[in-house]
Amino acid sequence: MERENFIIAIDGFSSCGKSTVAKAIAKRLNFVFVDSGAMYRAVTLYFLRNRIDITDTEAIKTALANIHIDFIPNTDKTQILLNGEDISDEIRQMEVSEKVSEVSAIKEVRHAMVAQQQQLGARRDIVMDGRDIGTTVFPDADLKIFMTADPLVRANRRHAELVAKGEQVTLDEIIENLAHRDHIDSTREESPLRQAEDAIVLDNSNLTQDDQLDFVLEYFNERKK
């Protein structure tokens, strides 16, 4: 039976503004927005807090069985709960950013998260952003966008975001973190970051948020059921 809900997959490199676009589309179309990166960040935070050895498969499996992730949908900010605790701000800290690519490359972690993501999109109209949404999570998504932007533009954006939150971090540290994450995300064995063959590329280096929203909406209107 053909699926009736509409799925928009937005993938791309770190700090390309995927979540910003995804959130705006969800708001405009009244879709549920899911930030899949926040889920990997939540797992990473749990691993850091509980000192999980990421080379110990049994410890990883036990930890995953004890992790429950919930979203509070369609608020302006992504609100995510880890075992009932709101960890929305904590998962954006550099300590988590520095470890998240290693944690999200672990096979057991990916299998657990992909299964949860597929459930979230089973019946609802959804916009999900991440790295492997159009390739692994929803290979049959109705619209796939692959976002990219100039690395320096990305680093400057992320730097401004963190500084605004009061984090002490240099632009060089951000450039290094982004390059490191892109490398791990693109070269890992399990569902690496890559552009789906049927994805539409959106380079937003020189685009406003409204331009990006219009770009995606145009394709949405073309494909809507």
Interface contacts to ligand DC, rule CB under 6 A: 14, 36-37, 40-41, 100-101, 104, 130-133, 181, 185
Report in angstroms how near the CB of residue 204 gets to ligand DC at its nearest.
15
At residue 80, what are phi and psi to the nearest 5 degrees? -130, 140
Residue 24 and residue 35 in contact, taking contact as beta carbons nearer than 8 Å: no
Q: Whose Cβ is closer to ligand DC: residue 88's or residue 104's? A: 104
CA distance linking residue 31 with residue 20, whole number of Å: 14
The number of helices, as runs of H, and strands, as runs of E, in the chain is 8, 8
Q: Whose Cβ is closer to ligand DC: residue 50's or residue 118's? A: 118
Q: Whose Cβ is closer to ligand DC: residue 121's or residue 130's? A: 130
Place of tokens 């990916």: 110
Report in angstroms how near the CB of residue 7 gets to ligand DC at its nearest.
14
Report in angstroms how near the CB of residue 222 gets to ligand DC at its nearest.
25
Q: At what angle do helices 94-104 and 171-187 cross, to 10 degrees?
A: 10
Report in angstroms how near the CB of residue 34 gets to ligand DC at its nearest.
10
For residue 190, give the DSSP letter.
S
Q: Whose Cβ is closer to ligand DC: residue 105's or residue 216's? A: 105
